[in-house]
Amino acid sequence: MATPTTESAAAHDEHAHGSHGPKWLQHHFDMPVQQFEAAKLGMWAFLAQEILFFSGLFVAYAVIRQQYPEAFAAGSHQLDKIMGGINTIVLLFSSLTAALSVRSAQLGKKNEVNLYLGITILCAFGFLIIKYFEYSTKIEHGLLPGQYWHPHMEHGHALFPAHTHVFFGVYFMLTGLHGLHVAIGIGILAWIMWRNNRGEFSKDYWTPVDLAALYWHLVDLIWIYLFPLLYLI
């Protein structure tokens, strides 16, 4: 388990009086391992919630794709596979560095934690920048949902099948919500980095780094589903 046994045992002996434990042990927990496990369980429950939050969109995707298969194929062809592919690699790599930051925190290497968190944040910005270029191309070509749908014909494109705009409705909702999660992730990781700089973490206490990395893995995981479903059909 995460927390060193000496610390847990010491805190356990003092039993029930939070003021005797290490500084980061909150008053309502008896021992560090209990605080760690509660935090981890809470985070997993929150991540389950996140998955179900996206699941509504995945179901909408499935239903509408089943209704308008041609529209989905045509819409998907308008997406840039190269950019999407690069973004997939960027996110996968950032997930690795996020995991490495947790390991560095466990080893008590403060500077390495900063380094890995920094790389993760840079990757996240990279992802959003690439996304920005993708979005601006779509907007430029009028590949937008609903009443804003007005694709240019000047490049000699064939006419789109009916309801292709619904594909772009789904596309913008899924990637937009995911992009929002990336942006929130940048905030969380930066906050963790700031706390790391203040020396809040140590070999004995690195729970927040772990939880932030877990969140980041979820962001990565969702993209791993989005990429083939949207770009590769």
Partner 1 sequence: MTAQAGATHPTSHDHAHDDADYLRATRGFRSWAMTLDHKRIGIMYLVAVLTAFLAGGIFALIVRTELLWPGRTIVDPDTYNKAFTLHGAIMVFLFIIPSIPAALGNFFLPLMLGAKDVAFPRLNLASFYIYVFGAIFALFSIVTSAVDTGWTFYTPYSTQTGTAVIAMTLGAFILGFSSILTGVNFIATVHKLRAPGLHWKRLPLFVWSIYATSVIQVLATPVLAITLLLLIMERALTLGIFDPRLGGDPVLFQHFFWFYSHPAVYIMILPGMAVVSELIATFSRRKIFGYMFVAMSSVALALLAFLVWAHHMFVAGMSEYAVMVFSGLTFLVAIPSAVKVFNWVATLYKGSVSFESPMLYGLAFIVLFTVGGLTGLPLATIVTDVHLHDTYYVVAHFHYVMVGGTVFGFIGGLHYWWPKMTGKLYNERLAQIAFALVFTGFNVTFFTQFLLGSHGMPRRYYDYLDQYQPLHGFSSFGSYILGVGFVIMLWMFVQSLMRGAKSPPNPWGSAAFEWQTSSPPIAHNFHETPIVTRGPYDYHLATEEELYTGFPEDRVERVTAKTEKEEG
Is 162 a binder of partner 1 (CB under 8 A)?
yes
Q: Which amino acid is at 139?
A: I
Nearer to partner 1, 21 or 84 (CB): 21
CA distance 167 to 69: 10
Q: Which is nearer to partner 1, 37 or 112 (CB)?
A: 37
**Would you count residue 2 as binding partner 1 (CB under 8 A)?**
no
The CA-atom distances, in angstroms, between 128 and each of 36, 73, 76, 145 are 32, 25, 20, 21
* Comparison of 17 and 81: residue with beta carbon closer to partner 1: 17
Burial 8-23 (b: 16+ CB within 10 A, else e): beebbeeeeeeeebee
Sign, CA dihedral 67-69-70-71, equals: positive
**Which positions from 37 through 56 interact with partner 1, judged by CB under 8 A?**
37-39, 41-42, 45-46, 48-50, 52-56
Interaction of residue 10 with partner 1, rule CB under 8 A = no
Using the contact rule CB under 8 A, the part of the chain among 62-70, 86-94, 113-121, 212-220 near partner 1 is 62-70
Amino acid in the structure at residue 115: L
CB 233 within 8 A of CB 72: yes
CA 103 from centre of chain: 19
CA distance 182 to 160: 31
Q: Does 34 sit near partner 1 (CB under 8 A)? A: yes
> Site for partner 1 (CB under 8 A): how many residues?
47
Candidate ranges 85-93, 112-120, 157-165, 209-217; the one touching partner 1 (CB under 8 A): 157-165
Site pattern 135..154 for partner 1 (x: CB under 8 A): ----------xxxx------
Give the binding site for partner 1 (CB under 8 A). Answer: 15-20, 26-30, 34, 37-39, 41-42, 45-46, 48-50, 52-57, 59-60, 63-64, 67-68, 145-148, 162-163, 165-166, 169-170, 172-173, 177
